């Protein structure tokens, strides 16, 4: 018997792991380039307008993205808990 629900859970887990990895890379990049954008604590001698725009864009969506991903992980955790509880009762 093929357990399609378990396969679906694994696919969702891989999907959310990839999204989380991309979000973390974007946040690290935005944090490390913020000092060169002219918006950081130290104002550089020669700031980059392109870095300023890209950093502002990343800062505009990175927290909602992490909230969305954590909600997906919560759904994933509840599905695992539900499957474990059903299998334990059998």
61-78 pLDDT per residue, tens? 888 888 888 777 777 777
C-alpha distances (whole Å) from 1 to each of 4, 5, 62 are: 9, 12, 41
pTM for this model (two decimals) = 0.62
What's the rounded Cα separation, in Å, for the pair 31 and 54? 11
Phi, psi for residue 22 in degrees, rounded to 5: -65, -40
Tokens 């509840």, residue located: 78
* 2 pLDDT more than 60: no
Burial of 84 (0-12, 13-18, 19+ CB in 10 A): exposed
Q: What is the pLDDT of residue 27?
A: 87
Tens-place pLDDT, residues 52-63: 888 888 888 888
Average pLDDT, rounded, for the chain = 76
Tokens of 71: 């909600």
């Amino acid at each position: 018997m093929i357990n399609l629900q378990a396969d679906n859970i694994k696919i969702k887990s891989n999907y959310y792991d990839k999204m989380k990895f991309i979000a973390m890379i974007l946040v690290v990049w935005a944090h490390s380039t913020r000092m060169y954008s002219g918006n950081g604590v130290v104002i550089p001698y020669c700031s980059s307008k392109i870095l300023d725009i890209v950093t502002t864009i990343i800062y505009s969506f990175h927290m909602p993205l992490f909230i969305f991903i954590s909600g997906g992980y919560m759904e994933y955790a509840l599905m695992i808990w539900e499957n474990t509880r059903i299998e334990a009762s059998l």
